[in-house]
Structures are given as C-alpha cells and as structure tokens.
Structure 1
Amino acid sequence: MIEITFLGSGGGRFITITQFRSTGGFHIKASRNVYVDPGPGALVRSWRYKLDPRKLDAIFVSHRHVDHCNDLEVMVEAMTGGALKKRGTLIASKSVVYGDETHTPAISKYHIDVLESVHTPEPGNKIAIGEEEFLITPSQHSDPTTIGFRMKTAYGDISYIPDTAYFDGLVEWHDGARLLIAAITRPRDMGIPYHLSTDDAVEMLK
C-alpha cells in the first residue's frame, strides 16, 4: 500500500506569504518515506498530521524557489536525528545544491555532510529508493535545472510535474502513470510563463 499526504498544495509568491493555501509539499509513504518539495510549513504540518519527519528516508526537491525548498534544511536535520546520524538521501535540482546566478544554495555544506547520499540528476537518470525507482523527468521553468519524477511502484507509476511550461514531450514522459500530480497555477486562459494552466492540464489528460 502507498499513502500520499498533501501538506499544502499552494505555491507562488503571494500564496506563500499569505498562506491562504499551505505550501508544505507532500509526503509519500511507500517502502520508504519520501518528502517532496518541503516548502514553508513542511515541518509544522508534518507534525500536525502525525508524519514524524525523523522517519524520513529521502527528500526530493524540484527546484530552488522558496515555495518548494524553504524547509529543506530543517527536514534534513529531522531525517538525520538532529544532524547526529549520517543517513537519508537527497534528490534535488542542481540549483538547490549549488545555487545559480540569482540564488545561493538551498542547503548548507553542514547539512549535505550529514546525508548518506546526494543526487543532482539529469532527466532520464534513475535512482532507487527502497523498492521504488525514480525516473527523473524534465521541466521548462525559469529555474532551468528544475526536475520532476516518475516513481515506479508495484501499484503503478506516480508522476510529479512541478512548475513548468507546457512543452512537446511532456506527455510522453508521464504517459500511462496511474497517478499524476501536477503544479497547476492558473485557470483557463490566465496562464503565466513557465507554469501550467488548467487548459494545459486538459490537453495532457486528452
């Protein structure tokens, strides 16, 4: 059995600073516990919903924007028992680990050093976490290193499409997944650059 708990489906700068919709990301409980995009509120909401962050095995961060990575370091501290035990896996975009032209890294060397493994993969790379395999998928976002995933499980594939523009090939990367989780920012014809709208979602579903 696999359980997915959403700790906040909000995103974008204005929702993030108002918290009209929480921005904590989501938790996957499969053969291992994986946290995806720990934005602001990830730690607090994990405890609120009785998801002990000390039991995490891996964290996935799609890109460096604060609504996706704000709570990364504190979740790493929880996963590593207060940074006292070297354990856990981080799968993250290059911008999260190394920073870019406009952002510092989202994680310090101190926190990297307490992790058992750190991956900054390219689309097409595969990473095993327990019995599940993560196929890294591409995005086209203002952070050009943004990545998503297709998680292969015994119950079918779970796909995650983070912030991205709609592009040729997006459907092929996720076609046939049993469950599709996608960041949809605006309704209908109100789309903004580098993000999906509900119109894009309809086209994907077709």
Structure 2
Amino acid sequence: MRSTFSYPQNFVRYLGTGGARYCMIRQMRWTGGIWFSYGGLNGVIDPGPGSLYHICNATPDIEADSVRVILLTHKHLDHSTDINVLAEAMTEGGFQKQGTIILPKDAIEAPDPVFLDYCAQKVGKIQKACDGLITELENGVTVEAVMHVHHDVDCFGYILRKKGLRSWGIISDTRLMSSFAKRYENCDYISINTTFLERNPKSEHMSIQDDIDLLKELHPKLVTISHMGVKLINNGPEKLAKTLSTAQTRVVAGQDGMIINLDNLKIFSPINKKKEIIKYKII
C-alpha cells in the first residue's frame, strides 16, 4: 500500500492497542506493542503477537532490521511472543552483533525464560532492568526503568530521554502505585496500559478509575490509553478517554496504527485502511 503521509522525525506508532488474553486470542485489537523513532534511534516496546507482521505491513514503511533497541516490560505472552524474531531482525539474522535489549531478569533466566539464549548470543547488549537504572543507548538517548507490580512477574515501565527532545514514557501492566506521579513527572507524553473499565482489586492492571486518580497528581501534556481489554473496547474507549482529560492533560484512546508526533504531540489516525492509498487525519 502507498501513503501520502511522511513520518515526523520523532514519533511513536502503535503496533497494537489490545491487551490481556481474550483480546489477544480474538485479535479484537492488534497486540504488537509500540514502535518508536526517537533521537535517531528506532525501537520496539513489548513485541507481542503480530509485532513483526505489523512492522512489515506498516504504511509508510518502517523496517524491522533498523531496530536498535527492544524494551520488554514483562514476560507475559501478550507482550513478548515476538521478542526473538525482532532480535533476529535487529541483528540482521544474527550476522551483526548489535543492538540493545532491556528486559526483566525473569524473562531471560531459568526456570521460565521467554527470550532464548540462542537469540541473546547475537545481541550487542543485554541489560536486565532494575528500578531506577538508567541505560545509555545510541545517539545520546537514555532509558530509565520504573518498577511496577504485576501478578508475580518482574515488570517495569520505561522513560526515554534525550537532551533537546521531549521526555516520554510507558506505564505498563501494573496496579496503580503512589510513586508514579513523581517518577513520570517530567514526561510530556505517556502511554498508559489501561486494561479495565472498572477497578478490579484482584487484578494488577490499570483501570479507567486508576487513570482518573493518577491524573489528579500527574500532569503530562498528552496521554494515550492502550492495552485495552474486551469490556473497555466494547464500551467505546474514545468517549471514555475524553472524560479523563484535564486542564493540563489531553487523553486520547489509542488506535491500531496511530502515530504520535513526539515533537509537537500531534496525533495522526489512519483512515482508508483497506484501500490502496492509506491516509491519516489529525485528531
């Protein structure tokens, strides 16, 4: 397919906005994670089911073998199934030992790793995420790990920074933590995994109510909600997101293929997906 659209210099593209097992199994929304181009560095966050496919089918083109960093928030399948094939792409089939992967310890170590040693040996740098650890990437980009709490697996959010550019981050699957307002306070843009319509005390996922509570203390310029579960999707996330917006923060529901310009925070939504020429509109 073709497009008259050109990517901004720094941007995020959603390779999926669906979350949790039933949405993943039914593919109600894509589940491929997030592509970003930031400070001259290309990367993927949480390459879940379909990540490579949606990279290869993106319009305009993005190239899997241009990836130089993969960030894994945790090892659950809806976040991690494509990590090995993305590592293979990043290392050009294993012939170039390059790139960085940051992931929780339990995603790579026994007894139940999701990232294969066969692939890990080909990567330039493997970094095990620790709370507060700042890792230097290429081109002066840094990434900081933020501890989350999620169902007995190691889980982290991430904050990306580069001098002269907007800082931005992701809050992954987690219960709402009092530390988030302080940790993410300098982010202009945050993608928040919001799985539930209503708060569920038995499940460590963010809900619409958790977002409301968080945005009373945290005031980024833009928030997009993603990793949405079945009930939230069925109840119209676009309308729900508008109710979350505050005087300081615009909140928008993520869409599959949506692009966020990280320089001016404009949002582009794909239209005409099934036609030969794909167009985007600002929302």
Give the counterpart of 2:209 among 196, 199, 202.
Answer: 199
The superposition leaves residues 11-54 of structure 1 with CA deviations (integer Å, 9 ceiling, x where unpaired) of 10101111011100011101211110000000000011022110
Separation in structure 1 between the aligned mates of residue 168 and residue 18 of structure 2, nearest angstrom: 20
Q: Does the 8 Å contact 1:136/1:148 carry over to 2?
A: yes
Deviation (angstroms), 1:192: 5.2
1:119 aligns with 2:127: yes
Deviation (angstroms), 1:189: 4.1
Deviation (angstroms), 1:96: 1.2
Q: Does the 8 Å contact 1:99/1:106 carry over to 2?
A: no
2:275 corresponding residue in structure 1: none
Deviation (angstroms), 1:7: 0.4
Structure 2: give runs of 5+ residues left out of the alignment.
1-8, 217-283
Deviation (angstroms), 1:152: 1.1
SS of 2:32's partner is: coil
Deviation (angstroms), 1:81: 0.9
Separation in structure 1 between the aligned mates of residue 24 and residue 92 of structure 2, nearest angstrom: 28
Structure number with higher helix proportion: 1
Deviation (angstroms), 1:2: 1.0
Separation in structure 2 between the aligned mates of residue 190 and residue 125 of structure 1, nearest angstrom: 30
Percent of aligned positions that are identical: 25
Structure 1: give runs of 5+ residues left out of the alignment.
none
Q: How many residues align?
A: 203
Separation in structure 1 between the aligned mates of residue 200 and residue 151 of structure 2, nearest angstrom: 18
1:25 corresponding residue in structure 2: 33
The superposition leaves residues 108-151 of structure 1 with CA deviations (integer Å, 9 ceiling, x where unpaired) of 11101000000002111000112211111110111441011111
The structure with more radius of gyration: 2
User: TM-score, normalized by length of structure 1?
Assistant: 0.94
RMSD between superposed Cα atoms in Å: 1.4
Separation in structure 1 between the aligned mates of residue 113 and residue 205 of structure 2, nearest angstrom: 23
Letter in 2 for 1:84: F
SS of 1:193's partner is: coil
Separation in structure 2 between the aligned mates of residue 123 and residue 24 of structure 1, nearest angstrom: 25
Structure number with higher strand proportion: 2
Q: Does the 8 Å contact 1:191/1:197 carry over to 2?
A: no
Letter in 1 for 2:149: Q
Q: Does the 8 Å contact 1:37/1:62 carry over to 2?
A: yes
User: TM-score, normalized by length of structure 2?
Assistant: 0.69
Note closer, same or farther for the CA distance 1:135–1:13 as it changes in structure 2 (3 Å cut): same
